[in-house]
Structure 1
């Protein structure tokens, strides 16, 4: 990912927080001679060797997993808040642009087996069920329901490189920066408001 220095995010705590809150990503690799992408939850974790990893699973019917052994280099893409920025919001003539937050993770993928698959499913379900009125647990599934796990391929990606970008009008002076925040909030659009809030956080 092309990241000018002004937009580069090297704050590891901020990146980890972003990945935990925006874990629905895109897994990209080369499958059968062409680029392949799957949209799935990819959860940040630490493996038994103390290394940061992403864990996830895909359907066994998805041919993407068949290339994991022969070509284990993968890219995981995560997107956050984003919004159009109108040139009418500046006090001078300029071009339109887009503000956004994104993280790219490069790593090595390997297939998980046995109890590790069940443990990864437990963590995934527990995370997203915690705010449910009646939380569901993998431990409570019947044997018949658990048989469906035979239809998935679970994997772990050992993280080798993280590229984090937050393009949030850092190249603007204070007056225009403040006005962009104001105009974003005036749209009453959820994405625009989220970008405005991220811009306010960057100022602190």
Structure 2
């Protein structure tokens, strides 16, 4: 993606935390001669000292079959975002949008069934931590777990990562602080999240 120098994020720890916190991504590739996108949760893991993404799609999803012929994919992770009115500046300018995003490029390798079930365990364990009565894949009946036969699980060997943190870094302190103040007045959760990110960033 296009990233002006002001907004490029190269802090690897920050990027990893972002993916962990915003794990519901968009997986994009070429499928049957056209661009195809699937909205799925993806886990960032470490394997042999390298970062990988792990996920799954339905076997009925045409994207699953396309992995055999074209293993190159793009995973897109989005964070908070908000409109920025130029009326908040002390000078005339155009409105814009502040946001956080990470693009991960890589190559897909398909899992066999046992690996697929193991990846499901990790995914469920991560998101069940906030449940009052968390479930575990290990406790589900064999009848229920037969549904796992209907997925294609995979890992993505990461070849490149691009991260953008567009938080009005090109503004002077006075305008920067005013943008934060105006965002906080909106009572919009996305706007307030961006205000908080701006506070941490400068």
Shared fold per TM-score greater than 0.5: yes
Which residue pairs with 1:22 in the alignment?
22
- After superposition, the CA RMSD in angstroms is 0.6
3-state secondary structure, aligned to 1:3: coil
Which residue pairs with 1:50 in the alignment?
49
3-state secondary structure, aligned to 1:10: coil
Which residue pairs with 2:153 in the alignment?
154
- How far apart, in 2, do the equivalents of 1:113 and 1:62 lie? 17
- How far apart, in 2, do the equivalents of 1:29 and 1:93 lie? 41
Please list every run of 5 or more consecutive structure 1 residues that lacks an aligned counterpart in the other structure. Answer: none
Cα offset, 1:110, TM superposition: 1.2
- How far apart, in 2, do the equivalents of 1:18 and 1:105 lie? 12
Query: Contact 2:81–2:194 (CA<8 Å) still a contact in 1?
Result: yes
Q: Which stretches of structure 1, 4 residues or longer, exceed 2 Å deviation after superposition?
A: none
Which residue pairs with 1:126 in the alignment?
125
Cα offset, 1:50, TM superposition: 2.5
The within-5 A match list for 1:1-204 is 1-47=1-47, 49-203=48-202
- How far apart, in 2, do the equivalents of 1:114 and 1:58 lie? 13
Please list every run of 5 or more consecutive structure 2 residues that lacks an aligned counterpart in the other structure. Answer: none
Work out the number of aligned pairs and report it: 202
Cα offset, 1:197, TM superposition: 0.3
- How far apart, in 2, do the equivalents of 1:186 and 1:16 lie? 30
- Residues 125-162 of structure 1 deviation map (CA, whole Å, 9 limit, x = unaligned): 00000111101000000000000001111010000100
- How far apart, in 2, do the equivalents of 1:117 and 1:46 lie? 16
- How far apart, in 1, do the equivalents of 2:49 and 2:146 lie? 31
Cα offset, 1:51, TM superposition: 1.8
- How far apart, in 2, do the equivalents of 1:121 and 1:75 lie? 21
3-state secondary structure, aligned to 1:165: strand
- How far apart, in 2, do the equivalents of 1:43 and 1:163 lie? 17
The alignment's TM-score, normalised by the length of structure 1, stands at 0.98
Cα offset, 1:69, TM superposition: 1.7
- How far apart, in 2, do the equivalents of 1:59 and 1:114 lie? 13
Query: Contact 2:113–2:149 (CA<8 Å) still a contact in 1?
Result: no
